[in-house]
Chains A and B, each alone.
Chain A
């Protein structure tokens, strides 16, 4: 048993992002989550990663309940779970090698983490993780100089380098071109398959989900719409899932902004 949710709900202020989700994902399973924008895919993954606390209901992760553990024990549990963010939150001035090696901060002691900052200790490891994604030449470049797709691959490399038992990926390939997206998803799946890692990924592109994952979960309005093997997903199910999807409202164009320097004293 890898992940289990019992009636888990999540409330962002007035909005109910997730509404009584019951879900069970076995160890070593590979699952894709699909659904229209704003359906709660991202919230579900953050909930599974114990990054967000459910407003009600229960989460079991690797046989433990993260929100009943002490802070220290929860940090140890989190070190065994990897989350790939849609827009990887990397400081622009950090070098790629450091960003990747930061994946194992939860497993390393503080001293080792600090030493690694001054002089990267495991350059071959980081290079290997990046080489699989075709980014080995960017090892010593600052994160701020990479494009969105390259940043996403750095985020994946960091999660792979972490060697987690559960790998959660939130739209991991949304900024990549189709060929690269296919390659990266293939890599994630191979890694999960070979190492017996549980893989859960949310995806925008239905065809990628059907092509790579044996099990597919459809989410709509914070509820599970369907949950079945990939070959049982029919056009009717998909049409119902994406019915009257609202086109995303255009982002308002930001006007000229006034920058005021406030001296700190």
Chain B
């Protein structure tokens, strides 16, 4: 019986995939044949000679640093707000606050970064400030929920023991719960940082600073060689952050 249902589920998935292909009416043959592949190849070759003039490189470098700062600070702010919201969301201050905090977290999380960025650009004007705030708002929602789950799953015994010795709530949290919890919090935060560096480099598409803005303008002006430098910079940035986060994970989470 169970097996039969599983087969049915698999069949439904297959049907969904086929249905999606049909619905989109993708004509892959037209994409590949009829000179389409050559056209794409020709388009791709225009990216093969990145613009390495010093003026452009300096601009890209500044954009890259700006992107890095946006992702880092956005994640940091989100960690702080996330933890502040996770405490009530894990039910530490009674159920009315728990419900409210959860609703807030879900709202923050559900709206994608790019929509947040469009809104913050409206409110705070063009520039990296809007991007940082957008990242912080969305990530606070995601991290808050993950932190709340981690808090709920943390073993209560160490904190209870400190309470039993006469320690205060805060002391019990800092000395009983946090030591077990913080590797998990850090693991989640690093994971979001890796996500955010990718997001930070594209928030510029809606005017929120960083490399994305450069990529958007250069592509709109058909300056493929300049655009290709920007893409390479994004790639380097992402690899750099992935490596840094991996080092920190090895050092502080797995130990």
Contacts and interface: CB of A to CB of B under 8 A. Distances in A.
- Which bracket fits the contact residues of B? 10 to 19
Contacts of B113: none
A265 B183 contact: no
B58 to A, nearest CB: 32
A13 interface: no
Interface string B161-193: 000000000000000000010011001100100
B194 interface: yes
A260 B181 CA distance: 9
Given A265-B194, A265-B195, A258 B180 contact: yes
Interface string B182-226: 011001100100110000000000000000000000000000000
B237 interface: no
Consensus secondary structure, chain B interface? helix
- State the main secondary structure of chain A at its contact with B: loop
A261 interface: yes
* Chain A interface extent, by class: under 10
A262 B194 contact: no
Nearest to A258: B180
B187 A260 contact: yes
Nearest to B198: A265
Contact of B249 (A256, A258, A262): A262
Contact of A261 (B180, B184, B249, B254): B184
9 contacts: A258-B180, A260-B183, A260-B253, A260-B254, A262-B191, A262-B249, A263-B187, A263-B188, A263-B191
Closest A-B pairs by Cβ, 6 of them:
A263-B191, A260-B183, A262-B187, A260-B184, A260-B187, A265-B191
Interface of A: 256, 258, 260-263, 265
